[in-house]
Amino acid sequence: MTTSRLTATHDGLTFDVEESGPARGPWVVLLHGFPVNSQCYDEVIPRLHEAGLRTLRINQRGYSPGARPDGVDEYRLEKLVDDVSEILIQLNISYSMIVGHDWGGIVAWHLAAKYPDRFTGLVAASTGHPSAMRDALAVGDDQRRRSAYIKDFIADGAEENLRARDGVLLRKAGVPKEELAPILEPGALTGPLNWYRANFTGDVAANLACPPVEIPTTMVWSDGDAALGREQAEFSGRYVYSDFRFSVLEGVDHWIPEKAPAALASEIALRSNRF
């Protein structure tokens, strides 16, 4: 087993990445969500290595200290997707599985749809296909209530509110305490919040629009998720034109990588045909 901490550059930015695991293992690319960085996969990665998989995790735009551009438009979804695509090209990773949780899941859905020839499979945790989210918002009030927090994230002063009292609001939302330190550093929250500001204002449906996915896909959803309901996860099967597996984790909240690392790793290994 080897672990290498590297940097990759794209769009004038420098990203912190880490590759580890068996040298000849199939690649698994891990994308984190808001507001935590790739540390969220700390307990998942060793289990993937045991299954013979090699991992790459990326601290994405706004999270790597060298990749915090000014301006909301610098965080539009197409830029987030291009970051990952170009980093993989730079690191000569031409074929991999893609895994994403929360916002990382949205990026992963888009990568899988845009580059089906570059990914062996997709595992999305918590966040369903963007079109499935649209469907869930249309059928009733449940997902609209769950998504109400977004208005607070795009508001002026959101950084100060979330940093107040050592991140009490984030801790109440379940963010693991040990993962809060990087995001509470001065200036560290603006980039991550700009993911919301750039993509959840204006024509949100157009901002997030994603074609169907044509690679084998697993959707992992937890029934204790306060932000993302079952409908947006289950409806994702409508937009997967390949094998689709819907996996429900009972008694687990939104933070699947940290709270259910063994279950998530098992789903990834299963999708990779390593079990």
pLDDT of residue 140: 84
**Could you report the per-residue pLDDT of 81-116, keeping only the tens digit for each?**
999 999 999 999 999 999 999 999 999 999 999 999
Q: Which helix or strand (DSSP H or E) is residue 49 part of?
A: helix 45-50
Tokens linked to 120: 């062996």
CA–CA gap between residue 206 and residue 233 (Å, rounded): 20
CATH number at residue 62: 3.40.50.1820
Q: How many domains does the chain have?
A: 1
**The pLDDT of residue 178:** 85
Determine the pLDDT at residue 273.
85
Give the C-alpha separation, 85 to 93, whole Å: 10
Angle at 64 between CA 75 and CA 80, to 5 degrees: 30
First CA to last CA across the chain, in angstroms?
19
Q: Which residue has the tokens 């930015």?
A: 13
Using CA atoms, how far apart are residues 199 and 202, in angstroms rounded to an integer?
8
pLDDT tens per residue across span 245-261 = 999 999 999 999 999 99
Mean per-residue pLDDT over the chain, rounded: 96
pLDDT at 42 over 90: yes
Percent of the chain past pLDDT 70, that is, above it, reads 99
Q: How far is CA 161 from CA 62, 147, 168, 239, 275, in A?
A: 18, 18, 9, 37, 45
**Cα 207 to Cα 120: distance, rounded to the nearest angstrom:** 26
pLDDT at 108: 98
The pLDDT of residue 274: 59
Domain that holds residue 175: 2-271
Closest C-alpha to 160, from 190, 192, 196, 197: 190
Other CB atoms within a 10 A radius of the CB of residue 207 amount to 15
| Residues classed as catalytic | 102, 196, 254
Helix segments in 72-220, DSSP class H: 77-90, 103-114, 130-139, 142-146, 150-153, 158-172, 180-183, 190-199, 204-208
Q: Which of 1-5, 49-53, 197-201, 223-227 bottoms out in mean pLDDT, i.e. has the lowest?
A: 1-5
Q: Could you write out the DSSP letters of every residue in 8-25? A: EEETTEEEEEEEEE-TTS
The tens digit of pLDDT for each residue in 172-197 reads 999 988 899 999 999 999 999 999 99
CA distance 237 to 212: 10
Question: pLDDT value at position 2?
Answer: 83
pLDDT interval class at 67 (50, 70, 90): very high
Go through the chain and tell me how many residues it has.
Answer: 275
